[in-house]
A and B are shown apart, each in its own frame.
Chain A
């Protein structure tokens, strides 16, 4: 899957699965932190994202501390998905 396709699909999943009503993919900055400030996502959202990423991309995200850098931003998530599905 091409990088832009993964990115677009991921942003769409973030909006629909985490119910970010009124947000568009353009509102989600590629390099901005996903959790805490910004979109206001938390650990429950991370669990949902990990589940739908596995469902949609066939990529399993590790749990615990290893997951932190992967969930840092859309950029880091896209990079991880591409690396694991290569």
Chain B
């Protein structure tokens, strides 16, 4: 089954669309200039690649523009371009959406956040905070571009946009979707500019990837989205391919929160896996669009990795980094550079590596100095994120290589849960207590004795929310009966999300920058401020080398994580995944973001606000065999939806076919009632967690864990877990025992 790219949309510092960006790239244009979006005084640099003369008001409807970010506006333009090129009307042919980013509306909310550090009551124009959640951009895309069917938002720092495309490929390959709009966007903001500055990572002048005298990266901004669809779906619409999305792979270095693994071993492994996924060999690759940030460490690591992956072909394969022209666009980079790589194959023109004066003699690469007109059969795009989240995508000329075989979705099993919450720290056995109506109600804060569960010397950089994750993950692995070991670790990952990231820590960081100056920004705090930081810290702690990233979907974030993990295992992108969510007590979430992002009357916060982390360990049959593990439940069915589809649970087998069954959710409210009323699940018992777990955006993870725990105890045959947030929902059906049944999402 082939995957076709049929539309490309891009907004970059070099142009407002894909064609003008690519033309400027091949012409060697560099887009750097003085930072105008904020005052960079006190930073190591004052240049960046901004999208010139771009204003949110050009795109956002006037009546809601206050709640829009630059990230939103750029992403909307890119999405419209991609759909137009693909001749796609999502109202006619359903399209799913996967969006990757890191900072969403940070630029627009930084001033408010700085004020809120002193007093949450200082919140002024609340509407502006609507742009803050990472999931906000996907919401704008859905409101303003098209009624996308299924929507997912994720962050893996600077590989976010590439991970979105990887997940899209997994969906297409397993038949979960026929058509996905996937990519990423990130507007420039003080937080990341100041953060990279305090890490010593910013070059004073425009960056020089792979140069002997390279001295750091330059920041950029932008957005890119690509329409990817199955060949059959595109042919049915009579549409031609631009290129094939041919290979993809993701892995984590488990090394360091900011520094890349010097050997390049993980990056080389992921490159090799991406080629293998596409049935390609190094000899098939004619071009590599490098991550090439122009930091000393990245470029050296990447050259090492390329040498390991390409063998004696390194030095013969053309390599360039686009960051010497449009800067490092962070969460957008993986998508923008995927778009550039796709256009390189389609146009037969390799863009240059600008900023190169004297190539680093230690890096034996064929660096492109001026654009080359040449046939490009297949090309690779590298993306490496903070915490060592590496993603590699491969694009190929249509029909140039043999058609990859079809794949059957693999069965997925649940082996354990682990949690840190109102009832303490525990594994599978503890979680059933979260639906036990007896016992005391949750109190607000969770006390975690970190020293009792973690090696504090190794965990000293892991902040509180990261420690919640690390402890919950450790409990799940303990409960599963075996800590993962090599080589299983290479396909063992973690997806844990937060609804609003570490918003209070961002607020403190920015307040300090405003109060004391940018040069007093904290280098050890900054790497913990991205939405993916908690799961990255925890995965490094546990040495996990599979997919590591963070989803964000308001109060259904944990459910989003679990469903995504199941999808990756079903698609053979991973063998074991710890999946769930984490939230910590947050004055800004409690007072501002929580209420703002809930429907009136059903606000998260209606119960006692608590905190914690709950994860589920899901595994493939291969993983279970490798470690002689025993499942406690199997995944029978799952779904996710946006808006108000007619009968989202229609695909779920009726409880009568499954035996004794129950529904698990955080709370029983009119929305859940209405959802179940239209299904065969209306009359089964319901178990809720709010009383004992308290309420917070990650609380859905406790409902999932409780369901697993009850199934493990042999008290039920099947459990339907439902997670709801405004305009979105997830449902997951688990069955007791280990009998293999066909995975059948809908």
Contact = CB atoms under 8 A, between A and B. Distances in A.
A64 B333 CA distance: 28
B interface residue count range (under 10 / 10 to 19 / 20 to 34 / 35 or more):
20 to 34
A51 B519 contact: yes
A16 B515 CA distance: 21
B313 interface: no
B520 A44 contact: no
Secondary structure type dominating chain B contacts: loop
A71 B115 CA distance: 36
Interface string B511-524: 00000100111111
Interface stretch (B454-462, B600-608, B664-672): B454-462
B20 interface: no
A23 to B, nearest CB: 9
Contacts of B460: 18-21
A22 B198 contact: no
Interface in A1-57: 17-22, 40, 42-45, 47-48, 51, 54-55
A45 B524 contact: yes
Contacts of B199: 44, 47
Contacts of A19: 460-461, 524
Which residue of A44, A54, A63 has the most chain B CB atoms within 10 A of its CB atom? Answer: A44
Contacts of A55: 516, 520
A21 B448 CA distance: 15
B451 A48 contact: no
A49 B461 CA distance: 14
B258 A44 contact: yes
B200 interface: yes
A44 B519 contact: no
A40 B520 contact: no
B259 interface: yes
B461 A48 contact: no
A55 B456 CA distance: 27
Nearest to A20: B460
A interface residue count range (under 10 / 10 to 19 / 20 to 34 / 35 or more):
10 to 19
Which residue of A42, A45, A47, A55 has the most chain B CB atoms within 10 A of its CB atom? Answer: A47
Contact of A51 (B258, B457, B520): B520
Interface in B108-162: none
B456 A51 contact: no
B19 to A, nearest CB: 41
Contacts of A43: 259
Nearest to A22: B456
A48 B456 contact: no
Given A21-B456, A21-B460, A44 B524 contact: yes
B538 to A, nearest CB: 16
Contacts of B256: 42, 44
B259 A48 contact: no
A51 B516 contact: no
A68 to B, nearest CB: 14
A30 B200 CA distance: 27
Contacts of B456: 21-22
Contacts of B257: 44
A24 to B, nearest CB: 14
Given A18-B460, A51-B198, A44 B516 contact: no
A22 B461 contact: no
Contacts of A45: 524
Contact of B524 (A21, A40, A48, A63): A48
Which residue of B199, B456, B460, B519 has the most chain A CB atoms within 10 A of its CB atom? Answer: B460
Interface in B511-564: 516, 519-524, 527
A19 B200 CA distance: 21
Interface in B16-71: none
B451 A51 contact: no
Nearest to B460: A19
A18 B521 CA distance: 15
B401 to A, nearest CB: 43
Given A44-B259, A47-B200, A21 B451 contact: yes
A42 B200 CA distance: 14
Contacts of A22: 451, 456
B522 A48 contact: yes
A22 B449 CA distance: 13
Given A19-B460, A21-B460, A63-B200, A51 B522 contact: yes
B742 to A, nearest CB: 47
A44 B523 contact: yes
A21 B463 CA distance: 12
Given A43-B259, A47-B198, A63-B200, A17 B451 contact: no
A42 B259 CA distance: 10
Give me the 5 closest cross-chain CB pairs, A-B, nearest first.
Answer: A47-B523, A19-B460, A48-B524, A21-B456, A48-B523
16 contacts: A18-B460, A19-B461, A20-B460, A21-B451, A21-B456, A21-B460, A22-B451, A44-B256, A44-B461, A47-B200, A47-B523, A48-B522, A48-B523, A51-B520, A51-B522, A51-B523
Interface of B: 198-200, 256-259, 451, 456-457, 460-461, 516, 519-524, 527
Given A51-B520, A63-B200, 8 more contacts: A43-B259, A44-B257, A44-B523, A45-B524, A47-B199, A48-B523, A51-B198, A55-B516
